[in-house]
Structure 1
Amino acid sequence: MIRVAAVALALLLAACQQQPVSTDFTRPDQILKWRMSGKLGYRTEADGGSATFDWHQTPRQGEIQFSGPLGFGSAELRWDPGLAHLRTAKGEWQARTPGELAWHLTGFWLPVSALEYWSRGLVWPGAPAQSDRDQAGNLITLNQLGWQLQFDRYQPVGRVTLPHRIKAEQDGNRFTLLIRDWRPLP
């Protein structure tokens, strides 16, 4: 009986531990599933705010949990191909893309589909772009979808280097994505 309890306790403790970061990735474009958390700050001519976020991404689905003073207290943005859902304390909305729903959070079109790439230091393949890179090949600046982005901090995650802070501006709207924790998933 004691042996069974010890095995059960060991399994429970192992399940509670955080999964280690995979070091199998040698390029950011190999990371197709991840969890990341950090802070999103934004400013428009009429408004501004910030929130912490926890983003879980797979190749076909995404989910971002926001908490903080975005005007909603907390929010959950989920999407599958062709359908996105936003749930806040003030209501629920649906749209074809998560970017359409991000309008309810920030007051401007936040290109969530492109952020899936930008957050990994990649150019979004869905639109033309101009970019500058450093000697290591990391994006420093990117102009895409009318956004001017600056990638001014990177962090090592396993065997790849990923953005830590991204600043973006478009037509007087600005956002900063500060990624505190990156967890690529196998």
Structure 2
Amino acid sequence: MNRKAGNGVPMRAAWLAMVAVLLVACAAPRLRPDAQRLGIQEQRERALLAERDWSLKGRMAISGPADSGSGSLDWSQQGDAFRFALSAPVSGKTWTLSGDERHAELSGLHAQPVLGSSAAEVLGRELGWKVPVAELAYWVRGMRAPGRADVVFAADGLPAEIRQSGWTIEFRDYERANEPVMPRRIFARNGDYRVRLVIQQWGVP
């Protein structure tokens, strides 16, 4: 007499079916947690890239081997065009960096505006600051800039670090009232160069 499974299928056939299911399950690809988080990050970046006009207000400190500076920051971005104003805390003197992907103009530092091919080039030449402004426009929003980058995720799935172009960008706090969630405290370093940002308000120009 054949022993039957509870549903009428011979016991041996039931075991074979179970083994087949297990083999299929083992063969199916499984996403690692970081791969899942990276997929969520890519969705977040696509949503942020669609918002080409944005602004922030906060405080910024920059330091390097040659010089350092700090002050209140007012940064507005309209597509590729940017305006980046830093006001000193004691004197109240403000210098403004504006431009786009093809040129940059620094005003308020000298009697006449200073021109250059990029924001990073002007800051490096006039102030001795190594600040990759084009990449920072991505990093400040918790995104990777174009090119190779590594992301370290926090337990909540948000980026804790982005490592790119020799820089390590740490995201130490987020403003969780926004959607998508936006960084609030950022610390970037590359050798002896440091950039610290405390963002008090996100908005549109």
Normalising by the smaller structure, the TM-score range is 0.7 to 0.9
* Structure 2 match to 1:56: 76
Q: Across the two proteins, how many residue pairs are aligned to each other?
A: 160
The alpha carbon displacement at 1:104 in A equals: 5.0
Q: TM-score, length-normalised on structure 1?
A: 0.76
The within-5 A match list for 1:1-186 is 27-68=47-88, 73-90=93-110, 91-104=112-125, 106-125=127-146, 127-184=147-204
Q: Which runs of 5+ in 1 are unaligned?
A: 1-25
Structure 1 segments of 4 or more deviating over 4 A? 69-72
User: CA 1:97/1:89 → structure 2, altered by over 3 Å: closer, same or farther?
Assistant: closer
Distance 2:170 2:114 in 1: 31
The alpha carbon displacement at 1:27 in A equals: 3.6
Q: TM-score, length-normalised on structure 2?
A: 0.70
The alpha carbon displacement at 1:105 in A equals: 6.2
The alpha carbon displacement at 1:68 in A equals: 0.5
Give RMSD over aligned pairs.
Answer: 2.5
User: CA 1:152/1:58 → structure 2, altered by over 3 Å: closer, same or farther?
Assistant: same
Distance 1:70 1:146 in 2: 33
SS in 2 for 1:49: strand
| Structure with more contact order per residue of length (Cα contacts < 8 Å, sep ≥ 6) | 1
Distance 1:81 1:175 in 2: 21
Greater per-residue helix proportion: 2
Distance 1:70 1:118 in 2: 28
User: CA 1:124/1:70 → structure 2, altered by over 3 Å: closer, same or farther?
Assistant: farther
SS in 2 for 1:160: coil
